[in-house]
Structure 1
Amino acid sequence: MPNVYLIGAGPGDPGLLTVKAKAILETCDVLVYDYLANKAFLDYCRPGAEIIYVGKKGGDHTLPQGEINKLLVAKAKEGKVVARLKGGDPYVFGRGAEEAEELLEDGLTFEVIPGVTSAVAAPAYAGIPITHRKYASSVSFITGHEDPTKDESAHNWDALAKAASTLVFFMGVKNLEDISRRLIEGGRSPETPAALVRWGTTCRHRSMVSTLKDIPREAREKGFKAPSLLVVGEVVQLHDKLNWFEQRPLLGKGVVVTRSREQASDLTRVLSDMGACTWEFPTIEVAPLADTTPVREAVGNLACFDWLVFTSVNGVKYFWHEMQAMGKDARALGGLMVAAIGPATAQALAERGIRADFVPEKYVAESVVEGLLALQIGGKRVLIPRALKAREVLPDELCRAGAQVEVLPVYETKLASHDPDEIVASIEEGEIHYLTFTSSSTVENFFQMIPADRLAPLRERIKIACIGPITAATLAKYGFTPDIQPESYTIPALAQAVAESAKES
């Protein structure tokens, strides 16, 4: 087994990390990562893994390259499996070869796991194929990070200027004026199409198209800074026609997800697919009960009930956990009618072999009661597995209708521990545009962490989205009215409503 894995993290989109790279991240003892490596990859590391940041940003080096090399050697010599995660590909202007040579000199072994290079991916996301039969049959990758004041350049500018190749410059924004001048002096037409792609493939992705002579000026006017790629060549003409990624409705929009960490992934994934920069700010922690004796007693007495009503995915999860611990499965629910509030809860049941007999059209307690009464639940025995603390509307209304209701806490929710300063600062800096709330408890816990009077001065900078009227009513108690509320009280509908709002703004 190699001592060190030199891993290409790709250009930033988490979906472009390779399967092999993910497998190493999940098992390594030490992760050493760069500034351009997406921090989402850190979540793949196993608990207890040592995570070390050695990134370089704008000339500010956390560790010089020589010290990074020594760090890799030292950790490997401790007998640990080391993953060295680098943006893009380790061997494409990534100094991976230098690290490999250092490891070999110290008698250590390594393996390279290539990554998708930004030179290919970033232009592709911007609608620019770096080769095209009509425009360019070759491509050159060039570092743009040369010192323009040095006597001699490492590049043959005349050859680059006269070639029919597409030219892709890494780290070229700082020297954009010099690159443009040298290529024009070498014979490249000043009207050659040229483009910049900043933060390619990420939610912060931006691109602009100009000409070789005008791009230095236009880049300054439009505020294009590092990290950006410069693409020069006729293929840039296809930018407007093939630009698919920049059509995403939430591209560049910052959205805060306040769901529990266990549940945030569904909303985060939908928003991310729409291009959003998601900020997970879990206000709730979901935890099992310290004493599950009452749950086990209820599972053992399921034959005493007529209806089983699940109000959340977590209710299904923790109820099922106790069933399995008792050696039971879906057959234990034989003879019971089962209700699920919402399609996600119904799906959680379906994954366990149970098809819900009733899913209301609207996913609030009042609509559930109306639907269940139509199914003659009055006089029936009803078990409701739910959170320790929850709204009492459902059990109260069912009791009023004559049902015999037993509320069964199967899990509890707690206030999450999270630093609110980052969220507040990001709103102030204009990086966050939307707050989303998916339940009353997310609202209440959010304002415990960020008091209403702290958010109020920032209200004009953001829009607030609530999943439904109950959540909106809770928000009103803190003096805020939602800007966005979908007609259907589901996660996909909430995300779509945010996207529609972005289109209108």
Structure 2
Amino acid sequence: MSAAVYLVGAGPGDPGLLTLRAARILETADVVVYDHLVGDAILDRLPARVERIYAGKEPGSHTMKQDAINAVLAERARRGQTVVRLKGGDPFVFGRGSEEAEYLAARGIPFEVVPGVTSAVGVPAYAGIPVTHRGVAASVAIVTGRAGPTGEAPAVDWRRLAGADTIVVLMGVANQEFVVRALIDGGRSPETPAAAIRWGTTAHQRVVLGTLATIGRRMQEANLRPPAILVVGDVVGLRAHLRWAERRPLFGRRVLLPAPYPSCLTEPLERLGAEVLHVAPVEWVPPPSWAPLDRALDELPGFAGMVVADEVALTAVLDRLAARGRDARALAAVPLVAAGQAAAHALRRYALRPDAIVEDTGRDLPSRPHGPWLVVGSPDAQHLIATTLVQRGLRAETPPVCALRTTKARTDRLRELLTARRAHAIVFSTAVEVWRLLGALDVDERPALRAVALVAVGAAPQTALLQAGLTPAITTTEADLPAALAATLPQDSGDARA
């Protein structure tokens, strides 16, 4: 990476539409300045160390003026930080990215533009509406809805625009009466099919259908508010048999995983249409000293085996081996045991095959006469496993591999997902995840969990929930989780008025 500022398109909201280039840049960013239209699921996957600055602009409410945004980009770049200006859709399609690029260029600040999937194409596609189709539409026009007497682009030639086969109006809800009248006055038939799509590609996607003559009334009846786009043209009629996103079993469902991204559960849930949110209640930071772990790794042959509780611990182990001129081959000296399926997936991602997979509590860990067990994991996971082993008369060593801290930003995000922008389900893969989430909430906030479907993947999180006085709506296995959620959570059709 060479640029100081990256003007990055985040796409319309679905994190699966983020480009590979954008994802790589976000992983290495120091600070991300993001807009209102950037999807929650994308923001939740940013590394914990990344500083976030909200610069959202909503109708009638601008958190930061454009001059202030420009100044932040320049000031942070001059500090030597890697700055990402993250915008919904594409930064050069009504995103003011070119204005920010001009500002940076005039001051000699290096920048790079990373295009994104524009909502003008991606959002209609998720609604089953192609913007072109052979025999139906051979041309498409994209226009801002902030045009006209009260808008930002009064010079739009609506008569010429009305001649395009498909017209996509971005940011057009608040000014839809003017836009519709201008298109009809420009020669477009009032009977032309039209669709309004709100929060397209996300769990909140809603579609209202009508014609130019009726779409305004139908939007009002459905209380369709920004952010939304308007699609005008005969291609709208193709939605009847091309709609696909809403037919996925978990469409419209927001599922919270209280664990870092990625999780072994992310991809199968997203494949069925769920919006998967990753909000771990804690952050992982290095321990005060690496000496105890280094010493344990030097003495690996003397252990009965190594129990891996989570990916953070495995990464720390491999990093410490590398720092001392060794690699994963050193782990061949002992059996590797995964405490839970998440730990097993982490081992496999590093091409390490677990010799055994046990409960995350370590209750079913096999007894071995040869030495103590080396337990690597976050402090709470280590304590849980070590306590279980001692109760069984076994020995355990737990060198620190990380420390945990709770931040206000994370607890505020969890509260939001339990109240204002509620998740439909919370999926716990381990008992530790249950205790961490409960620990992040005040006692009087915990009853809000009863309004959400609590899902236990395995016996250990089920037991933890019951001990906390919470009854899981579903107890299932990792393999059966997607189907169990699909059968339990009600499906949303996606049509506000069809």
Q: TM-score range by the shorter chain?
A: 0.7 to 0.9
Tell whether 2:453 aligns with 1:463: yes
How many Å apart are 1:156 and its aligned residue?
A: 3.7
Which letter does structure 1 place at the counterpart of 2:203?
A: C
Closer/same/farther in 2, CA of residues 134 and 280 from structure 1, 3 Å limit: same
Counterpart of 1:143?
144
Deviations 1:386-424 (CA, angstroms, capped at 9, x unpaired): 44311468636865xxxxx43121446746334535433
Matched, 1:395 2:395: no
The reply on whether 1:310 has 2:307 as its aligned counterpart is yes
Cα distance in 1, alignment partners of residues 77 and 296 from structure 2: 53
Matching residue of 1:176: 176
Task: Compute the displacement of 1:136 (Å).
Answer: 0.4
Describe how 1:375-414 pairs up with structure 2 within 5 A. Answer: 383-386=373-376, 387-391=381-385, 395=389, 399=393, 405-411=394-400, 414=404
Describe how 1:96-495 pairs up with structure 2 within 5 A. Answer: 96-103=97-104, 111-147=112-148, 154-161=155-162, 163=163, 165-259=165-259, 261=260, 265-268=263-266, 270-286=268-284, 290=288, 298-304=296-302, 307-308=304-305, 310=307, 312-314=309-311, 316-320=314-318, 327-329=325-327, 332=330, 337-350=335-348, 354-359=352-357, 365=362, 368=364, 372=366, 383-386=373-376, 387-391=381-385, 395=389, 399=393, 405-411=394-400, 414=404, 416-418=406-408, 420-429=411-420, 431-456=422-447, 458=448, 461-486=451-476, 488=477, 490=478, 493-494=480-481
> 1:113: how far off?
3.6
Amino acid at match of 1:409: T
Check whether the contact 2:255–2:424 (CA below 8 A) recurs between aligned residues.
yes
Distance 1:329 1:398, change over 3 A: farther
Aligned to 1:34: 35
The structure whose Rg is larger is 1
Larger deviation: 9-18 or 152-161? Answer: 152-161
On the 8 A contact 1:138/1:165 being kept in 2, the answer is: yes
Which of residues 475, 484, 493 in structure 2 aligns to 1:497? Answer: 484
Indicate the residue corresponding to 1:402 in structure 2: none
* Separation in 1, partners of 2:332, 2:94: 62
In the TM superposition, what whole-angstrom CA distance separates every residue of 1:44-66 from its partner, at most 9, and x where no partner exists? 689577x5443311121233335
- TM-score, length basis structure 2: 0.80
CA distance in 2, matches of 1:338, 1:77: 47
Q: Is the 8 A contact 2:450 2:470 kept in 1?
A: no
Tell me: CA distance 1:153–1:296, structure 2 relative to 1, closer, same or farther (3 Å). Answer: closer
Q: Is the 8 A contact 2:308 2:336 kept in 1?
A: no
C-alpha distance in 2 between matches for 1:332 and 1:111 = 42
Q: Identity percentage over the alignment?
A: 37
Q: Is the 8 A contact 1:309 1:382 kept in 2?
A: no
CA distance change for structure 1 residues 246 and 165 in 2, over 3 Å: closer, same or farther?
same
- State the secondary structure of the residue aligned to 1:128: coil
- Cα displacement string for residues 412-454 of structure 1 (whole angstroms, at most 9, x for unaligned residues): 6746334535433543335322223232233233323324543
Q: Secondary structure at the match of 2:241?
A: helix
How many matched pairs?
A: 482
Which residue in the other structure is 2:496 paired with?
none
* 8 A Cα contact 1:257 1:264, kept in partner: no
1:498 CA displacement:
2.9
Which runs of structure 2 are paired with 1:2-81 in the superposition (5 Å)? 5-22=6-23, 25=26, 31-38=32-39, 40=42, 52-69=53-70
5+ residue gaps in structure 1? 400-404
Report if aligned partners of 2:340, 2:430 keep a CA contact under 8 Å in 1.
no
The offset of 1:168, in angstroms, is: 0.6
Residue deviations 1:338-380 (CA, integer Å, cap 9, x gap): 54444444444455565444446x77755x35xx5xxxx6756
Query: Which stretch has the larger CA shift, 208-217 or 225-234?
Result: 208-217
Could you tell me how far 1:485 is from its partner in structure 2? Answer: 1.0
Separation of aligned partners in 2, 1:104 and 1:338: 53
Alpha-carbon spacing, 1:288–1:500, altered in 2? closer, same or farther (3 Å): farther
Q: What does the per-residue CA deviation read over 1:183-231, in whole Å, with 9 as the maximum and x for residues that have no partner?
A: 3344433332211121222333222322222211111122211111100
Map Cα deviations across residues 304-325 of structure 1 (whole Å, 9 max, x no partner): 55x4252523565555555555
**Equivalent residue letter for 1:424:** R
Q: Residue type of the partner of 1:476?
A: L
Given that 1:195 and 1:236 are in contact with CA atoms closer than 8 Å, whether structure 2 keeps it comes out as: yes
How far has the Cα of 1:25 moved from its partner?
Answer: 5.0
Query: Which residue identity is paired with 2:226?
Result: A
More deviation in 221-230 or 173-182? 173-182
Deviations 1:211-255 (A, max 9, x none): 222211111122211111100111111213222222333333333
Q: Please, which runs of 5 or more residues in structure 2 have no aligned partner?
A: 493-498
- For 1:59 and 1:175, the matched residues in 2 are separated by 13
1:497, 1:178 → 2: CA distance?
47
Secondary structure at the aligned position of 2:143 is classed as: strand
CA deviation after TM superposition for structure 1 residue 108, in Å: 6.2
Q: Quick one: distance in 1 between partners of 2:72 and 2:326? A: 51
Partners of 2:298 and 2:109 in 1: CA distance = 58
Cα RMSD of the aligned pairs, angstroms, is 4.0
Secondary structure in structure 1 of the residue aligned to 2:398: strand
Q: Give yes or no for contact 2:269–2:482 (8 Å, CA) kept in 1.
A: yes
Tell me if the contact between 1:437 and 1:467 (Cα under 8 Å) persists in the aligned partners: yes
CA distance in 1, matches of 2:308, 2:81: 46
State the alpha-carbon separation in 1 of the partners of residues 300 and 326 from structure 2. 12
TM-score (norm. length: structure 1): 0.79
